[in-house]
Structure 1
C-alpha cells in the first residue's frame, strides 16, 4: 500500500464527511445494489419518475403526452439524440451552472457530448469506483489509464493527474519501442492499476510474453479492461502473467459503467441501480427473446439535464433476467458482441462474436502485427493485413478466417503498412460495411 494512496483516500473521506458523506453513501448503495439486485418496485418507481420528469421538462418529450409507459417512448440512437439535441435538453438547462460534459471521442465516426449536472457526475464517478472496489480496488490507488492521449483534446492537467493519482499511458503507437517504454513507466512510476482497452491489454501481454520481460518488481495489483470484448486468451494470459484475473467491464462515456464482471463470473452483472436495460431485436424495436442476440438499449435514470430514455448504445449482446430467493431482480449480459458496425456474419448469415477475430489474430502472433476483417457483402470479405510477409503462410491465414466465415467465403488479402488505432484508443479487428439487410 503506497503512501500517496492512503493520503488521497483520507483526504477524500475527510472532504466528503464535511459535506455529509454523500459520496460514500452513494458508493456503498451502488455496490450493494449491483451485488444484491433491486426490487421491482424500485425499477418501476425510477422509470415512472423519469418519464414524468421528461414530459414536464424536456421539449422533445413534452410534445407527446400520449407516451405513458416506457415502451411508448422511441428508441434513440446517438444520431437521433444529436439531431434533436436542443429539444432533448431540459427547459432550465441554460439557467444551470456547473454543468459537466460527458464526451465520447467518436470512435465510430460520430463524436457526441452529453451534458449533465453535478449529481449525475457524482454518480458516474462513484459508479466507476463502485465497479472497481467490487473487484479489489482501494480509493487512492495509482492508476495508469491507457488511451490515445491527444494534447489539447483529452489530456488532463498536472494538478488533476496528481489529485486523482492518475498516469496518462499513451497507446497511440503499440509497436515494440512504445511497449518497452510503457513497461518501464509502469515499473518506474509504481502504477498499481492498469485501466485499459482490451486491444491494448492484448498487445501488452503478448509483448511481455514474447520478450520474457520480468514484471516481478511491478506494483500492479489490478487490471481493468474496458471497451471491446476481451479475448479469452488475453484473459488467461493476463492471469498467468500477473497472478490474478483482469476485470471485464461494459459501459460508455455518455452514461458511465453499465455492467461489470464480479469475481471470475464470465457474465457481466448489469447495474440496475442506475439503468433500466433492454435487449431489442436487431431489425425492430420489439423485445428480443430470452437468449437472443439483440441491440443493447439502456435508460439512464439520473441524467436530469440531458435525459437519455431508451438509448440504443450501438452495441449488441444477449441478456438474462432472473429473481433471487428474496424476490430481487438481477440482470446479466451473457455475451457482449460489441458495435453493430463490428457485428460480422458468416456466409450462412449467422452472427459472429468479435472474440472470433481477436482469437484468430492470436494464432499468428509475431507474424501478423495487425489484421482487420471487413465484410463487404453476403459472402464478400477483405482482410487488411500488416505482417512479416516473409514468414506469413497466406494459405494458413485464409483458412483460419474461413473456419469462422465459411469455406465458401470470398476472402482476399490487402497488405498495408499500418492499421491506425482509433482516436478512442481502440483497435477494430472487424468492420461490417455491407449494405445488405443484416447490417445495422
Structure 2
C-alpha cells in the first residue's frame, strides 16, 4: 500500500463526505446487492418506475400507450437506438448542456454514443469500483488500462490520469518490442492493477513465460479483464505467474459493468441492482429456455437521459436465475459466448464458444503469431494466418481447427503479414460472415 493510494482514498472519502457521502453509500449498496441478491419487490418497482417514466418523457415510447409490461416493449439493437436517437432521448434533456458521453469504438460495426446525466455517471463509476472491491481492489490503487489509445479520440488528460491514478498502456501493437516496453512501464511506474482485454493478457502472459522475465519486483496485486472471453489457459497461466487469479467481467461502454466473477466462481454474478437481464432466443424475441444459448438483453434502470429498455447487446450467453432461502433473487451468466458476429458454428450447426479458438491458438505459441477464423457458409471457413511459415505445420493447424469445426469443414488458408487489433484494443480470433446464422 503506497502513499499515493492512501492519499487518493482519503481525498475521495473527504470530498464525498462533504456532499453527504452519496457515492460511498451507492458503492456499498451496489456491492451488497451483487452478493446478496435483490428482492422481487425491488425488481418490479424499478421496472415499473422506469417504464412509466419513459412513456411520459420519451417521444419514442410515448407514442405507444399500449405497451404496458416489459414484454410489450420492443427489443432494441444498437442500430435501432441510432435510428430513433432523438426520439428516445428524454424531452427535458434535449437542450441540457451538462451531460456525459458513453461511447463505443465501433470495433464490431457501428460507433455509438449514449448520453447520461451525473447520477447515471456516478452509478457507472461506483459500479466499476464495487465490482473491483468485491475482488480485493482498494480505492486509489494505481491501475494500468490496456487500450489502443488514440490521441484526440480516447486519451485522457495528465490531470485526470494523476487524479484517478490511471496509466494509459497502449496496445496498438503487440510485438515483442512493444510487450517489452509494457513490462518496463509496469515495473517503473509501479502499477498495482492491470485492466487488459483478454487478448492483451494472453499476449502478455505468453511473452512473460517465453522470455522467463523476472516479475518479482512488480507491484501488481490484481488483474481485471475486460472484453472477449478469457481462455482457461490464460487464466491458469496468469495464476501461475502472478500468484493470483484474474477477475473476469462482462459489460459495455453504453451501460457499464453488467456482471462479474467473484473469487474463482466460474459463473458471472449479474448486477441485478442496476439492470434487468433477459436471455432471448436467437431467432425471435421469446425468452430462451433455462440453459439455452440466447441473446443477452438488458434493461438499464438508471439512465434517465437516454433510456435503454430491452437493449440487445449483440452478445450471446446462457443465464440462470435462482432464489435463495431468504427469497432474494440472484442472476448468473453461466457462460458468455461473445458477440453474435463472433459466434461460430460447427458443420453440424452447433454453436462454439470463442474460448475454443483462443485455446487453439495457444497450442501454436511461437509459431502462429495471429489467426482469425472466418465462417463464410455452413461448412465453409477461411483461416487468416500470420505465422512463421518455416516452422508452421499447416496440416497440424488445420487438424486443430477441424477438431472443433468438424472433420468435414472446408478450410482455406490465407497468409497475411498482420491482422490488425480493433480500435477498442480487442483482437477478434473468429468472425461469422455467414448470413444463414447471423
TM-score range (shorter-chain normalised) is: over 0.9
Report the counterpart of residue 324 of structure 2 in structure 1.
324
What are structure 1's unaligned runs of at least 5 residues? none
User: Which deviations, in whole Å up to 9, do the C-alpha atoms of 1:227-274 show, x marking residues without a partner?
Assistant: 000000000000000000000000000000000000100000000000
Query: Does 1:169 pair with 2:169?
Result: yes
How much is the aligned-residue C-alpha RMSD, in angstroms? 0.4
User: Which deviations, in whole Å up to 9, do the C-alpha atoms of 1:289-340 show, x marking residues without a partner?
Assistant: 0000000000000000000000000000000000011000001000000000
Report the counterpart of residue 423 of structure 2 in structure 1.
423
Query: Does 1:186 pair with 2:186?
Result: yes
- What is the CA–CA distance in structure 1 between the aligned matches of 2:62 and 2:365, rounded to whole Å? 55
Report the counterpart of residue 291 of structure 2 in structure 1.
291
Q: Structure 2 matches for 1:25-40, cutoff 5 A?
A: 25-40=25-40
- What is the CA–CA distance in structure 1 between the aligned matches of 2:100 and 2:403, rounded to whole Å? 47
- What is the CA–CA distance in structure 2 between the aligned matches of 1:392 and 1:78, rounded to whole Å? 40
User: Which deviations, in whole Å up to 9, do the C-alpha atoms of 1:30-83 show, x marking residues without a partner?
Assistant: 000000000000000000000000000000000000000000000000000000
TM-score w.r.t. the length of structure 1 is 0.99
TM-score w.r.t. the length of structure 2 is 1.00
- What is the CA–CA distance in structure 2 between the aligned matches of 1:103 and 1:251, rounded to whole Å? 13
Q: Structure 2 matches for 1:10-159, cutoff 5 A?
A: 10-159=10-159
- What is the CA–CA distance in structure 2 between the aligned matches of 1:197 and 1:415, rounded to whole Å? 25
Deviation of the 1:109 alpha carbon: 1.9
Deviation of the 1:97 alpha carbon: 3.7
Report the counterpart of residue 336 of structure 2 in structure 1.
336
Runs of 4+ deviating beyond 6 Å: none
Deviation of the 1:96 alpha carbon: 2.8
- What is the CA–CA distance in structure 2 between the aligned matches of 1:96 and 1:149, rounded to whole Å? 29
Q: Structure 2 matches for 1:215-364, cutoff 5 A?
A: 215-364=215-364
Deviation of the 1:94 alpha carbon: 2.7
Residue 322 of structure 1 aligns to a residue whose secondary structure is strand
User: Which deviations, in whole Å up to 9, do the C-alpha atoms of 1:364-423 show, x marking residues without a partner?
Assistant: 000000000000000000000000000000010000000000000000110000000000
Report the counterpart of residue 410 of structure 2 in structure 1.
410
Residue 431 of structure 2 aligns to a residue whose secondary structure is strand
Q: How many residues align?
A: 438
- What is the CA–CA distance in structure 2 between the aligned matches of 1:405 and 1:94, rounded to whole Å? 49
Residue 33 of structure 1 aligns to a residue whose secondary structure is helix
Residue 5 of structure 2 aligns to a residue whose secondary structure is helix
